[in-house]
Amino acid sequence: MMSQAKKVGIFTVGCKLNQYETQAMAESLKRNGLERVDFSEPAELYLINTCTVTAQSDYSSRQAVYRAHRRSPQAKIVVTGCYAQLQPEFLTGLPGVSLALRNEQKKDIAGIVSALLNHGKPDLSKTTWEGFELEVSGHFKHTRGLVKIQDGCNESCSYCVVPRARGRERSRSVASIVSEIENLSWNGFKEVVLTGVHIGKYEKDGVNLFQLSRDILERTRIERIRFSSIQPEEFSADLLDLIKAESRICRHVHVPLQAGNDRVLKAMNRRYSTADYRELVENLSAKIPGICAGADVIVGFPGEKEKEFEATCEFIQSIPLSYLHVFSYSDREGTAASALPGKIDPKVIRQRSGRLQEIGRGKWQSFLEGFVGQSLEILVEKRKDKKTGKLIGLTDNYIRVLFDGDDGSVNRILNVNALRKEGKFLLGK
């Protein structure tokens, strides 16, 4: 009689890059005989892919460990990701944690876990940053495929630990990216999201992001290509023109802002001014009708004066952004910003965050209003809206549309008529 496969529950905190690597690790474990179950179920092993970009990310990562240990006290818990990269000793001291793996060890996850489950702690001394051995053929419970094209960061933003957690910039070969996307297409995926730490700085064998995108268009059958975050100074004119010209490239860009005041941007060690940012976003809006442009904003950076926060609010109101992701500043150990004077009271940070979130909601509502009455092309997602039970479809420009339909519509690209706004969605037919 064959022994029953051991079960592994997996949890991801953080960005699309982490989500991609979680999927790659899950596939590697499956090939080596483990059965993936939902993280809420009992298992022999729990794998937690952590994030440390903010204090909230640290908290979420720790809470995942505690939940796993309460659920199955005898289970082995393995933590990896950026929090594990920077705080391995702390995390291995949490209840049930057997191992804290560095990011570069993710590609060796199958052998590490096998050694852990069968004969104790494995040898972790031989891994390096080199290589892009991680790959995916699908995505657990997701309709869109993520494709990692780049990793690492050479920048020195004063608030950020990503360069220490992810290493130096390195890009994946065009051939492996194209092969993975074509494989995802054969497996039924209609859309891929190109992800990394700095995808705008992709460079491999003389090929940049613009040229890589053309290669993907020419050499794969994927119906939609979406870019994840691109820094303002990394957005080339060629790339903008390609988005305008190619219907298979989604009219959606996420361009981190972080602050709408030049003194604060300089203190953050960002490499652009508010004038640079305005020019880019207005150019995108003018050249590409219907484009959705989103931004990250950090609230409460040390020394941020009230008038500088007001300048950020006024700046955001004055440019054609569609939505905001608002982050409360939190000190990250070892960063230049953590040593700066003028720390902002948490109560003030919460108040300012609420103000910006309200501005972001207003921006999104105005953006949605512009598409009421139009015929929209949507990719129907696997998940349904919990409140209404309706199907959810995603447009190329990042609008989610609720509509009535059956499960046969899932993972198809359909046309719907947008009837009206419904909260943060459109209601379609």
Q: Where are the domains of the chain?
A: 7-119, 135-250, 260-369, 375-428
pLDDT attached to residue 413: 97
- pLDDT tens-digit series, residues 234-249: 999 999 999 999 999 9
Prediction pTM value: 0.94
Q: What is the mean pLDDT of the segment spanning 18-40? A: 95
Residue 291 clears pLDDT 90, i.e. is over it: yes
* CATH class of the domain comprising 7-119: alpha beta
What pLDDT is recorded for position 127? 59
Q: What is the pLDDT of residues 187-202, one digit of tens each?
A: 999 999 999 999 999 9
**Tell me, what's the pLDDT at 36?**
95
**pLDDT for residue 82 is more than 70:** yes
Three-class DSSP labels, the chain: CCCCCCEEEEEECCCHHHHHHHHHHHHHHHHCCCEEECCCCCCCEEEEEECCCCHHHHHHHHHHHHHHHHHCCCCEEEEEEHHHHHCHHHHHCCCCEEEECCHHHHHHHHHHHHHHHHHCCCCCCCCCCCCCCCCCCCCCCCCCEEEECEECCCCCCCCCCHHHHHCCCEECCHHHHHHHHHHHHHCCCCEEEEECCCHHHCEECCEEHHHHHHHHHHHCCCCEEEECCCCHHHCCHHHHHHHHHCCCECCEEECCCECCCHHHHHHCCCCCCHHHHHHHHHHHHHHCCCCEEEEEEEECCCCCCHHHHHHHHHHHHHCCCCEEEEEECCCCCCCCHHHCCCCCCHHHHHHHHHHHHHHHHHHHHHHHHCCCCCEEEEEEEEEECCCCCCEEEEECCCCEEEECCCHHHCCCEEEEEEEEEECCEEEEC
Q: Is a pLDDT exceeding 50 seen at residue 175?
A: yes
Summarize the confidence of residues 69-91 as an average pLDDT.
97
List pLDDT tens digits, range 127-173.
Answer: 554 555 678 999 888 999 999 999 999 999 999 999 999 999 999 99
Same fold, 7-119 and 135-250: no
Question: Who has greater pLDDT, 123 or 306?
Answer: 306
**135-250 domain in CATH 3.30.750.210?**
yes
* Average pLDDT of the chain, as a whole number: 95
Instruction: Determine the topology of domain 260-369 in CATH.
Output: Transcription Regulator spoIIAA (3.30.750)
User: Is pLDDT above 70 for 354?
Assistant: yes
Give the model's confidence band at 1: pLDDT under 50 very low, under 70 low, under 90 confident, else very high.
very low
C-alpha 153/C-alpha 202 separation (Å) is 11
pLDDT at 56 over 70: yes
Read off the pLDDT band of 2 (50, 70, 90). very low
> Percent of the chain having pLDDT more than 70?
97
The pLDDT tens digits for 335-352 are: 999 999 999 999 999 999
Cα atoms in the 13 Å half-sphere on the side-chain side of 186: 9
pLDDT (0 to 100) of residue 3: 56
